[in-house]
Amino acid sequence: MSFVTDHPINGKYQAENPDVLQLYAFPTPNGVKVSIMLEEIGLPYEAHLVGLSDAEVKSPEFLALNPNNKIPAILDPNGPDGEGVALFESGAILIYLAEKSGKLIGKSAADKARVIQWLMFQMGGVGPMLGQLGFFYKFAGADIEDPRPRERYIGEAKRLLNVMEKQLEGQDWIAGEYSIADIALAPWIGALDFYGATEVVGLNGMPNILAYLERFRARPAVQKGMDVPPRP
């Protein structure tokens, strides 16, 4: 038995190689953050597809790893001081992996602070606001006759995108060098196309962001990680 095989989640998503990091995710903007990061740093891992239905994310096994019933989550049998680590929340996982590998979190304390600043910009702003935009523009909320919810999230999406557009002026990546902040942000900006919302938020009029997405998508680790675990 091991740290991974002892965990309740292994009863539902059984590890073939419990000696490597275990990723439990679905290829959403939040889910692919971790797979892209793992590909970027070259850390061996095993990916488990966790569907978004209540039967999976609210199962006793998954809740034992993430009581907040959201993907992604990880089990790392090779944590600090030889102890296993169980983590949920994509931003926390990115920071953990960056510190574990010593990569993509800046070269100095000041760099690290800037990277985390923009990571929090995604976690607290871009992710939640664009997620709500998707709900009210494409999914069930689109049937609501009251236009105010849609207008609220369209307006906030535009504001956040304009912050990014200005920040990217004259530089390739959001915090200077490529980092976990970009791994967090770019998949969410890409989701606007899935929502059919690029026109309504004016993305096509933001050349810095468009070039940024092109650079991001050209990275081999991004191309591989964007479909991990593969969709059913």
> Which domains does the chain show, CATH number per domain?
3-103 (3.40.30.10), 109-219 (1.20.1050.10)
pLDDT at 231: 84
pLDDT at 1: 62
d(CA 99, CA 52): 29
Low-confidence winner among 1-5, 65-69, 83-87, 210-214 (lowest mean pLDDT): 1-5
Low-confidence winner among 137-146, 161-170, 180-189 (lowest mean pLDDT): 137-146
Judge if pTM exceeds 0.95.
yes
Mean pLDDT over 100-118 rounds to: 97
**What pLDDT, in 10s, does the model give residues 116-130?**
999 999 999 999 999
Mean pLDDT over 2-9 rounds to: 97
pLDDT at 140: 86
On average, the pLDDT of the chain sits at 97
Instruction: With beta carbons less than 8 A apart as the criterion, state whether 27 and 223 touch.
Output: no
Q: Kindly provide the b/e burial profile for residues 105-144, where b requires at least 16 CB atoms within 10 angstroms of the residue's own CB.
A: bbeeeeebebbbebbebbbebbbebbbbbbbbbeeebeee
**What pLDDT, in 10s, does the model give residues 49-105?**
999 999 999 999 999 999 999 999 999 999 998 899 999 999 999 999 999 999 999
Mean pLDDT over 9-18 rounds to: 98
